[in-house]
Amino acid sequence: MISGYREVWKGGRGEIVEKKSRFIATVSKVTSEEEASAFIEQTRKKYWDARHHCSAFLLGPEPRIARCSDDGEPGGTAGRPILEVILGEEIYNVIIVVTRYFGGTLLGTGGLVRAYTQAAQEGLRNSLIMEKKYGYRDILTMDYTDIGRVRHLLEAEDIIIEDTKYEERVTMGILVEEAGKCRVEKLLAEATNGRIGVQTGDPVCFAALEDGALYVEKRQVIQIC
């Protein structure tokens, strides 16, 4: 069972020039084959005067679906190299379309493979990728006297605290990874001599983004201890 996966947060654009041919890579998040097809058509319309719009996308991780297209380039010189870049980076729910403006000089099969590979890499370098983790949005309830040791433990375990409410008892919402959930609960119980209450909340995928922002989405239950 995987503990998470990488996914595009914000797509980007990269460009290289090889012997006067321009290779423009456009990266986007997609979650279905229909979205991927629509993005390819959108890119075609944007760069309507270009000769080729080669592409590859990878959906997943469960089920995993991969597709690629050479769009008129010699077989295996464009779509597959783009897909290999995606597979090598292990990024899911992503599409890369590399648009080529022919510069008048033939590159040969080896040159095309290198150019499409480098363009795809440049596109990903200019995109924001998030590390999505499988976990749960849990609720902790504790006495005021236990706040310090609980916060210290959560920080040591890199557990994300979403919010804290101070009422008759302290209520704390946390995001805990599925793989370490049972161990963290045991540590919390030991640290508070069993006084802490733990309520398992929604199963989620979450990721820490730039500037301290969070990405959280519900998911189907996989399995817990």
28-61 pLDDT, tens digit per residue, is 999 999 999 999 999 999 999 999 999 999 999 9
The pLDDT tens digits of the residues spanning 129-158 come to 999 999 999 999 999 999 999 999 999 999
Are 76 and 117 a contacting pair, CB within 8 Å? Answer: no
Task: Look up the CATH number of the domain holding residue 68.
Answer: 3.30.230.30
Query: Which one of 100, 126, 152 terminates a domain?
Result: 126
Domains contained in the chain, number? 2
Percent of the chain with pLDDT over 90: 86
At residue 211, the pLDDT reads 67
* Cα gap 71→11, rounded to integer Å: 22
At residue 222, the pLDDT reads 47
Are 167 and 80 within one domain? no
Are 105 and 144 within one domain? no
Geometric angle at alpha carbon 91, from 88 and 97, rounded to 5°? 85
Q: Which tops the pLDDT comparison, 3 or 80?
A: 80
For residue 47, being part of any structural domain is answered with yes
* Cα gap 201→139, rounded to integer Å: 7
Query: Which one of 98, 126, 154 terminates a domain?
Result: 126
Are 99 and 184 within one domain? no
Are 20 and 47 a contacting pair, CB within 8 Å? Answer: no
Are 115 and 146 within one domain? no
pLDDT above 60 for 80: yes
At residue 225, the pLDDT reads 42
Are 191 and 105 within one domain? no
The pLDDT tens digits of the residues spanning 192-211 come to 999 999 999 999 999 988 76
Q: What is the mean pLDDT of the chain?
A: 93
Instruction: Provide the domain limits for residue 175.
Output: 132-218
At residue 122, the pLDDT reads 98
Residue entry with tokens 């200019």? 126
Are 134 and 205 a contacting pair, CB within 8 Å? Answer: yes
At residue 219, the pLDDT reads 81
pLDDT above 70 for 11: yes
Residue 221: band (very low, low, confident or very high) from pLDDT cuts 50, 70, 90: low
Are 107 and 13 within one domain? yes
Task: Look up the CATH number of the domain holding residue 161.
Answer: 3.30.70.240
Query: Which one of 96, 126, 156 terminates a domain?
Result: 126
Got the DSSP string for 68-87? Answer: EE-TTSSTTSSHHHHHHHHH
Are 142 and 172 a contacting pair, CB within 8 Å? Answer: yes
* Cα gap 157→134, rounded to integer Å: 16
Are 91 and 177 within one domain? no
At residue 62, the pLDDT reads 85
The pLDDT tens digits of the residues spanning 60-72 come to 998 899 999 999 9
